[in-house]
């Protein structure tokens, strides 16, 4: 199991706590420091069964200033997230061929 984690985010910390409390092995990836590649993001999106635009943090200042009202291709959104990982919704938890967004944190129970 992997968690794409931001330790400054309360929801991310809560999701990680649920995982560790369950005793599951988890690899923590601080995605702001260790940003997934475009290919990795494509795979994660496939496991989430979501389009790139659906995992954007639209409340981020950067999104509002640079991307709001833009109509980009899926690949262009992925590239924007790789260049600006703050735009990636968090946390994302991946286990095998499945993934969830930990909002609310209890969503992770579907993977445990």
The answer to whether 9 is a known catalytic residue is yes
Q: Residue 16 to residues 7, 74, 76, 79, 98: CA-CA distances in angstroms?
A: 9, 29, 30, 27, 17
1, 2, 6, 9: which is the annotated catalytic residue?
9
Pairing of strands 27-30, 92-95: unpaired
Give burial (CB, 10 Å; 0-12/13-18/19+) of 88: buried
The whole-angstrom separation of Cα 58 and Cα 99 is 21
| Catalytic site positions | 9
């Amino acid at each position: 199991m992997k968690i794409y984690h931001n330790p400054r985010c309360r929801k991310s910390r809560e999701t990680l706590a649920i995982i560790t409390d369950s005793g599951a092995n988890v690899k923590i990836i601080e995605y702001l420091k260790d940003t997934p590649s475009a290919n990795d993001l494509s795979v994660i999106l496939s496991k989430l069964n979501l389009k790139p635009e659906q995992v954007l943090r639209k409340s981020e200042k950067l999104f509002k200033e640079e991307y709001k009202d833009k109509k980009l291709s899926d690949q262009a959104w992925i590239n924007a997230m790789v260049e600006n990982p703050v735009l990636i919704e968090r946390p994302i938890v991946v286990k095998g061929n499945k993934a969830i967004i930990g909002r609310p944190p209890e969503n992770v129970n579907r993977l445990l």
